[in-house]
A and B are shown apart, each in its own frame.
Chain A
Amino acid sequence: GEDVEQSLFLSVREGDSSVINCTYTDSSSTYLYWYKQEPGAGLQLLTYIFSNMDMKQDQRLTVLLNKKDKHLSLRIADTQTGDSAIYFCAESRDDYTLSFGAGTTVTVRA
């Protein structure tokens, strides 16, 4: 938690874009990740970005990394009801051990 911070809740209308933000403190972070957790389920790796990249796109997902500000965001285009879940930001250093944020609960409303 305290090394990675996220806002706790996000409500978005179906069809709109969602943007989930995350800040981290460790400038030696090597990789930054986004995981999705649906109720009662495990964590699903959505995407990750190497710290020397500033953007990565994968279908509806766009990750932006501002290394100077230590800010990571995940944009979900055309948000669907199936996107309702908790989204965790995480960072790792060379040992690949993950440090997670507290998670952002995304609620998609019709």
Chain B
Amino acid sequence: DTAVSQTPKYLVTQMGNDKSIKCEQNLGHDTMYWYKQDSKKFLKIMFSYNNKELIINETVPNRFSPKSPDKAHLNLHINSLELGDSAVYFCASSPGAEQYFGPGTRLTVT
């Protein structure tokens, strides 16, 4: 009964491929997020999604697109993967001030 879950946990793929990471939360929260953690452990917001309103961090390339089929899911789709996309991607959800994070997906682009 994990609160925020992500699949897959590990993803290894080649440059140029398209991949998706799935996120599900069973907490009934209204807002979901995607964060990227680089090799130096630095965390940066990519997207937040609330009631069909998407707020995009302007530094995120448009190869990245979040897709929300329903309130409990926010998937991350990445087109034309590049070496620099290698990182750990975290999904989070919140009812307001508190954010609860998933276990992360380690993406390695070769």
Contacts and interface: CB of A to CB of B under 8 A. Distances in A.
Interface of A: 1, 30-31, 33, 35, 37, 41-45, 48, 50, 86, 88, 92, 95-100, 102-103
21 contacts: A1-B42, A30-B97, A41-B104, A42-B4, A42-B90, A42-B101, A42-B102, A42-B103, A42-B104, A45-B100, A92-B97, A95-B48, A95-B55, A96-B48, A96-B94, A96-B99, A97-B33, A97-B48, A98-B35, A100-B43, A103-B41
B48 A31 contact: no
A102 B41 CA distance: 7
Contacts of A88: 43
A35 B101 CA distance: 10
A92 B96 CA distance: 11
A100 B4 CA distance: 20
Nearest to B96: A96
B1 interface: no
Contacts of B102: 42
Interface of B: 4, 31, 33, 35, 40-45, 48, 55, 90, 92, 94, 96-104
Most buried by B among A35, A88, A92, A98: A98
Contacts of A30: 97
A86 B104 CA distance: 15
A31 B97 contact: yes
A41 B55 CA distance: 26
